[in-house]
Amino acid sequence: MEKILDKINYPNDLRKLNREQLSQVSKELREELINVVSETGGHLGAGLGVVELTVALHYVFDTPKDKLVWDVGHQCYPHKILTGRKNKIRTLRQGGGISGFTKREESEYDPFGAAHSSTSISSTLGMAVAKKLSNNKNNVIAVIGDGAISAGMAYEAMNNAGALKSKLIVVLNDNDMSISRPVGAMSNYLPKLLSGKIYFSLRETMKMITSAFSKRFRQKAGKAEDILRSIVTGGTLFSELGFYYIGPVDGHDVENLVKIFENVKNSNHEGPILIHTITKKGKGYKPAEESGDKYHGVSKFNVITGEQKKTKSNKPAYTKVFAETLIKHAENDTKIVGITGAMPSGTGLNLFEKKFPDRMFDVGIAEQHAVTFAAGLATEGYKPFAAIYSTFLQRAYDQVVHDVAIQSLPVRFAIDRAGLVGADGPTHAGSFDITYLSTLPNFVVMAASDEAELVRMVNTSVNINNKPSAFRYPRGNGVGIELPSINETLEIGKGRIIKSGKKAAIINFGARLEECRKASEILLKKGINITIVDARFAKPLDEKLIVEISTNHEVVITIEEGSIGGFGSHVMQLLSDRGVFDKGLKFRSMILPDIFIDQDTPEKMYKRAGLDAQAISDKVESTLNSNVVLAKNKIY
């Protein structure tokens, strides 16, 4: 039997259907989503929760002329299936395939890219104002999750929207289930908002009563309705911010959603409107509904049983090594606390929370607050460890500078997902933290070359009590070596020589050390024996070791999993200041290229970046054979 979904390639096809067919379309779309993600892996629970919303929005609104922005973008898989990407959906999150998030370059139906959270209201408000200035009557819609709306940026945008009074439609997807348990006062407030049945029955009664009376009376009754709304809701935050609030409504009743969206679309209301929908993350797939995280992010899985096909490894995950090391320290030091921004399981701090529930703080999707909160704890003698993905810490850079670095407060930053991260692509890559932290005075910046080094860096940071520190480590598993005790620390600003050779030296910063070892083996077969140094610190640099290595070798190459302006730039500045280039040193810096690298396996991404073993060995060999040297800012 042919499915209705088979005939739908674009929203125009969807709009040809009768309303009575939309429930069947939703059912088929949910089945397709489950089958797709079972083959590709990815984000499942969020998409399952917005199937009916997706169908209703595209049925009512004239997308792509009407702009539809998803926040966060991981809930957009059903949207992609309905907007011309159904035949490509099984390439999701793969090299050369489609992104796991909304992406402007991918489709005209993705007017704004969103892989981080809480950006939708700001961006759609900009679109709405632009349309108003252009006398364009098309609609602009933002779909924002209850986790994403917990961030300050969302409220800044709503405050501005209420003042500007541009027509903007915000759909709050309230599933009471962000990536982890929603936190903060707002997460408790949303479920307590006005009861739909009570309020709507009162409002409809008022409408029926007033419809029979004069215009003047109806105007006064309208004011009475506003008073009634305020009394019933207790003065909802959304109303106070200038939004016309509708809800809560059942986010899985597709026919009712269509009616509501049509009313809103055809409304002459000037100003922003918020439609509060109640949905269930993981809806329609029992294993997801029963899972603690509602299958937020999954690997490939068996559709029937829900069992995920996870790759087993005897090597420990970096995230777990960090968490377990921190727990050991916290058992001996009551001043240690853990802080994260809505990512307790992603950062491993869920393990810390089980052991020390009173000393673990998940502040929600609010990295700015997380950093300054940590700074406040540090002023009182506590030892805060802020575990935040590199890509998410970018959003709190002003706080890192102003609230932490300038005051030299001992906040410890555990920077997870350093370097390239695979299927999540460029939005989640940890490409810039070496650069944006190493430029700051008063900072100690470390990078773990393996899991044992990560333990030593956690140990070291515990004892740094007069300035901020950061240690970065990649996603995935370590190399499989024995872990040291929590008593092993590093001397601040001191690197280590891994192996000694002649002529050429590699100074590695971070988790490319194993690739450096492999490159060394490739070169040794060609008769080239190189020195390998593990720098450990980008700030402060081991100046003595770096200058000594650079003086005693013809070629020096720095390697890091970061952008320009990071470790290699600091080394070059040091060698320039010390006059080492005057002696004919051939220096090269291997960094991430000046591009955003699309999703693929980490191995293929690093190959494209030119940071794999073969690229390293080629760089050493070509530099040895080159006549190009730096001297007094001249190239010979």
367 is an active site residue = yes
Catalytic residue (choose from 86, 229, 395, 588) = 395
Q: How far apart are CA 334 and CA 548, in angstroms?
A: 42
Residue count of the chain, please give it.
636
- Is residue 103 within 8 A of residue 113, CB to CB? The reply is yes
Measuring CA to CA, which residue among 536, 593, 603, 609 is closest to residue 567?
A: 536
The beta-carbon contacts of 10-14 under 8 Å, at least 24 apart in sequence, are: 10/82, 10/83, 10/84, 11/58, 11/59, 11/63, 11/82, 11/83, 11/109, 14/55, 14/58, 14/59, 14/82
Read off φ and ψ for residue 312, nearest 5 degrees. -90, 140
DSSP notation for 395-412: GGHHHIIIIIITTT---E
Q: Are 448 and 481 in contact (CB under 8 A)?
A: no
Tokens 């009394």 belong to 231
Distance of CA 584 to the CA centre of its chain: 44
What backbone torsions phi and psi does residue 295 show, to the nearest 5 degrees? Answer: 60, 50
Among 324, 367, 453, 560, the one annotated catalytic:
367
CA distance 623 to 71: 47
3-state DSSP percent of the chain in helix, strand and coil, to 5: 45, 15, 40
- For the chain, give me the number of helices (H) and strands (E)? 26, 21
CA distance 95 to 89: 13
Catalytic residue among 80, 167, 281, 383: 281
Is position 395 annotated as part of the catalytic site?
yes
- In the 3-class helix/strand/coil scheme, how is 317-342 assigned residue by residue? EHHHHHHHHHHHHHHHCCCEEEEECC
Question: Exposed, middle or buried: residue 91 (CB in 10 Å: 0-12, 13-18, 19+)?
Answer: middle
**Distance between CA 47 and CA 52 in Å, rounded?**
10
How many C-beta atoms lie closer than 10 Å to residue 501's C-beta? 16
User: Can you tell me the distance from the alpha carbon of 235 to that of 71, in angstroms, rounded to the nearest whole number?
Assistant: 26
Distance CA 598, CA 497 (A): 34
User: Which residues are known catalytic residues?
Assistant: 281, 367, 395
